[in-house]
């Protein structure tokens, strides 16, 4: 008897649910038409169903999130691997490095790898050195004045360019942003085109003008074109045009001079963009390889970036330390100004 009743109830409830969800019958009328027992069963089963559904959905969501996190972790790991290896390997002793990696560079330079029987056939890639020393750094900093010179070269090339370009760009982009006229837009557009020109195009003009001015083979041949590069102007103008014109109008009504508007309103409002651009420019010029390669024939004047690529077997022992020392300034700047950078980049892309 009981079984038949139960089956009957279940039938009724299933029917009810199906009817409710296909909207064949209005839910209220159907539920009231059920017997008390059937209704109770109906509610209970619905509760259960909803609960399991929610659970399922939650599990599904966690799984998806977990997969997402896994993918993101994987990508981040790929992004960090080269940096970590370079940095951690810089704490190896130079003998360890040579024994680990010499095989790589012998094959690069085309020598046959014969005679060196102690050497392994494949490179040994290690994250953690067998023995942590700072011997590479001491050799680098105290025994090779050459490296310090190159380092200094990098600094005196980068800093004036960044500072100069920022000053020039602030002024120019203010004028482009504040006084928009049709004919001036043409000039601005030609600036953009200039910015987009790859170095392959500007190289010859740069060389010719440097030759004419007689600054070839001095650092000015790189610094001066760098200062007047239009990249910063492009981004900063984009940013300055977002300043509400009401701010400037209000300042004019209060009797502010043009210079006051520039220094007290435009510049502070663009603070983030200016920091971001400074960081971007610093990275770009710290990284510079092409210009010094062509415009500075004297190896003594070339920056560390060019020099690092010419490291070969004899100096392999300190190569990692040199690389690490070279990437520390940009990384420090990045950690200091990451928020500015992210905000600056973000705002530059939105119209």
Partner 1 sequence: MKCGDTVTFMDNRTDNTNNIIEKGEVTGMRPGSQAAVPETKPEKKSEPVLISKDDIDSKLINRPKAKNVTPLAGMKLTPEDIPVFENTPERRAKLELRNKRRFKRKLRDWGIFTGYLTPSFVGVLLFFFLPLIMLLKTSFQKSPTNSDFVGFRNYERVLTNPAFQDASKNTLIFAVISVPLAVLLALLIALLLNSGLPGKSIFRSILLNPMMVPVASVVLIWQVFFSYNGVVNGICEQLFDTFKKIDWLKSEYAQVVVVLLFLWKNLGYNMVLFLAALNSIPHEILESAAMDGAGPVKRFFAIKLHYLSPTIFFVGIMSLINSFKIFREVYLLTGDYPNELYFLQHFMNNSFTHLDYSKLSAGAIVMCIVMIIIVGGLFFAESKFDKDVEE
Instruction: Determine the 3-state secondary structure of 177 from DSSP.
Output: helix
Q: Which residue has the tokens 């007689």?
A: 214
Q: Which of 50, 59, 116, 196 binds partner 1 (CB under 8 A)?
A: 196
Query: What whole-number distance in Å separates Cα of residue 290 and Cα of residue 203?
Result: 9
What one-character DSSP code corresponds to residue 80?
A: H
Q: Find the binder of partner 1 among 56, 204, 214, 299 (CB under 8 A).
A: 204
DSSP assignment of 206-251: HHHHHHHHT-TTSTHHHHHHHHT-SHHHHHHHHHHTTS-HHHHHHH
Beta carbon nearer to partner 1, 51 or 125: 125
Binding range to partner 1, per CB under 8 A, among 49-57, 64-72, 128-136, 138-146: 64-72
How close are the terminal C-alpha atoms of the chain, in Å? 74
CB of 55 to partner 1, least distance (A): 19
How many Å apart are CA 18 and CA 21, to the nearest integer? 5
Q: Are 320 and 105 in contact (CB under 8 A)?
A: no
- Measured from the CB atom, the residue of 42 and 231 that comes closer to partner 1 is 231
Give dist(CA 3, CA 79) in Å, integer.
64
User: Six-digit token pair at 289?
Assistant: 């390889």
Among positions 22, 82, 255, 300, the unique one binding partner 1 when judged by CB under 8 A: 82
41 forms part of the interface with partner 1 (CB under 8 A):
no
Residues 135 to 154 in contact with partner 1, rule: CB under 8 A: none
Alpha carbon 160 to its chain centroid, in Å, reads 24
Give the nearest distance from C-beta 29 to partner 1 in angstroms.
Answer: 27
Size of the site for partner 1 (CB under 8 A): 104
Interacting residue with partner 1 among 44, 287, 299, 336 (CB under 8 A): 287
Alpha-helical (H) ranges within 90-198 are 94-109, 135-138, 145-178, 182-196
By the rule CB under 8 A, 283 interacts with partner 1? yes
**Cβ nearer to partner 1, comparing 13 with 317:** 317
**In whole angstroms, what is the distance from residue 162 CA to residue 125 CA?**
37
Task: List binders of partner 1 among 223-242 (CB under 8 A).
Answer: 224-225, 227-228, 230, 233
Of 43 and 247, CB closest to partner 1? 247
318 lies in the site for partner 1, by CB under 8 A: no
**What letter would DSSP give residue 179?**
S
313 token code pair: 């077997």
Instruction: Indicate the residue among 12 and 173 with the shorter CB distance to partner 1.
Output: 173
For residues 153 and 304, the answer to whether their CB atoms sit within 8 Å is yes
Residue choice 15, 31, 123, 144 for contact with partner 1 (CB under 8 A): 123
Interface with partner 1, residue 253, by CB under 8 A: yes
In terms of CB distance, is 68 or 299 closer to partner 1? 68
Is position 107 an interface residue for partner 1 (rule: CB under 8 A)? yes
For residues 243 and 177, the answer to whether their CB atoms sit within 8 Å is: yes
Q: Per CB under 8 A, does 256 bind partner 1?
A: no
CB distance 14 to 6 below 8 Å: no
Q: Which is nearer to partner 1, 42 or 188 (CB)?
A: 188
Among residues 108, 116, 132, 163, which is the contact residue for partner 1, using CB under 8 A?
108
Scan residues 164-183 and list those touching partner 1 (CB under 8 A).
167-169, 171-172, 174-176, 178-179
Among 35, 260, 264, 346, binds partner 1 (CB under 8 A): 346
CB-based contact 240:266 (threshold 8 Å): yes
Selected binder of partner 1 within 31, 141, 159, 203 (CB under 8 A): 203
């Amino acid at each position: 008897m009981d079984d038949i009743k139960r089956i009957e109830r279940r039938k009724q409830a299933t029917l009810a649910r199906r009817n409710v969800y296909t909207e064949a019958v209005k839910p209220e009328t159907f539920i009231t038409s059920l017997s008390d027992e059937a209704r109770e069963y109906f509610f209970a089963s619905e509760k259960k169903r909803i609960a399991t559904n929610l659970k399922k959905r939650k599990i599904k969501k966690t799984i998806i999130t977990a997969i997402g996190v896994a993918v993101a972790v994987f990508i981040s790991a790929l992004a960090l691997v080269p940096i970590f290896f370079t940095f951690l390997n810089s704490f190896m002793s130079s003998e360890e490095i040579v024994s680990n990696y010499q095989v790589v560079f012998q094959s690069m330079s085309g020598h046959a790898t014969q005679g060196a029987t102690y050497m392994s056939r494949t490179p040994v890639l290690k994250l953690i050195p067998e023995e942590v020393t700072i011997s590479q750094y001491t050799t680098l900093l105290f025994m090779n004045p050459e490296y310090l010179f190159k380092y200094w070269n990098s600094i005196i090339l980068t800093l004036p360019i960044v500072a100069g370009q920022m000053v020039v760009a602030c002024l120019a982009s203010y004028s482009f942003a504040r006084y928009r006229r049709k004919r001036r837009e043409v000039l601005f557009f030609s600036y953009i085109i200039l910015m987009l020109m790859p170095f392959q195009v500007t190289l010859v003009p740069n060389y010719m003008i440097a030759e004419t001015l007689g600054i070839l083979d001095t650092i000015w041949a790189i610094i001066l074109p760098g200062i007047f590069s239009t990249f910063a102007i492009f981004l900063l103008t984009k940013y300055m045009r977002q300043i509400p014109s009401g701010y400037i109008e209000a300042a004019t009504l209060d009797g502010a001079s043009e210079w006051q508007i520039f220094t007290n309103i435009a510049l502070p409002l663009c603070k983030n963009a200016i920091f971001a651009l400074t960081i971007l420019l610093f990275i770009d010029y710290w990284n510079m390889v092409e210009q010094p390669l062509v415009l500075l024939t004297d190896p003594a004047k070339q920056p560390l970036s060019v020099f690092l690529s010419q490291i070969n077997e004899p100096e392999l022992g300190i190569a990692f330390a040199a690389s690490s020392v070279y990437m520390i300034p940009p990384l420090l700047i990045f950690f200091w100004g990451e928020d500015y950078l992210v905000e600056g980049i973000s705002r530059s892309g939105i119209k």
